[in-house]
Amino acid sequence: MALGMAGARAMRLEILPERTGGAAENMAADFMLLQRYPRPAAARYRHYGWRSQAFTFGYSQKIAFIRSQLPEGVAADLCRRPTGGGLVDHRDDWTYALVIPRGHPLEEVRATQSYRVVHDALAASLREVGVPVTLKPTAEPREDAEPAGPAGVCFERAEIFDVVHTVTGAKIAGAAQKRNKRGLLFQGSIWRPAAGEALDWERFGSDFEQRLAQVLSAEAAAVPWPDFNEEEMEGLVEQYGSPEWMEFR
């Protein structure tokens, strides 16, 4: 499914270099990519790693619930995301972010639709490297009242349009989104043990980039890391690492 921009300039999907960072640093970088656009006709994509045993959790989650779900004895690098969703364990995941500028058709559709489109591309790329997956077609009503909401812990329960294994039913990939006046930030995670550690992750990553370009009606192009204002970036990292940000709910 390709979503074109009729009458607009040619779209580019800028593929950023892979970087490894701490939890606050990675969350700040993703938000900066949403906030700072050199051109309106460019989406940005990055795959990135984690410097330590990191966990992130959704903007609306309550910190008491999140702390109750962390593994005992683990010195977690913990950070609240700018997006929604539940607690994500990044110790053995494959993480990416996609930023789509304001006015692109995929930025303008409902959140469930953009979620499905991106996960359709991701699922096709996983199948290309031999992982039997599909999208969860329906939402299931909850039988219990959970103080953290329906997405308390990301990989324990699949939500509608999450990527699941067709044989085991295990959730393989989930994501969360944030929209503002700049565009759409899509933060996604693939749980490696559920997908299979032996698969060719480099081949998967390259295929996923091309499929994202197709659904965005864009041309994929590798670009250098953006030249962000250092003081602004440092301030944002400090904010994301502060107790005030972590514990405001």
3-state secondary structure of 193: helix
In a domain, residue 2? The reply is: no
In a domain, residue 4? The reply is: no
In a domain, residue 233? The reply is: yes
In a domain, residue 51? The reply is: yes
In a domain, residue 49? The reply is: yes
In a domain, residue 125? The reply is: yes
- Residue 77's domain is classified under what CATH number? 3.30.930.10
Would you write out the chain's pLDDT as a tens digit for each of its 249 residues?
555 444 345 789 999 999 999 999 999 999 999 988 657 789 999 999 999 999 999 999 999 999 999 988 888 899 999 999 999 999 999 999 999 999 899 988 999 999 999 999 999 999 999 999 999 987 665 554 444 344 456 666 788 899 999 998 899 999 999 999 999 999 999 999 999 878 999 999 999 999 999 999 999 999 999 988 899 999 999 999 999 999 888
Task: Note whether 118 and 212 are within 8 A (CB).
Answer: yes
**pTM, to two decimals:** 0.89
In the chain, the number of structural domains is: 1
3-state secondary structure of 156: helix
In a domain, residue 62? The reply is: yes
Give the angle 239-62-114 at the CA atoms, nearest 5°.
80
Domain range for 20: 11-246
In a domain, residue 6? The reply is: no
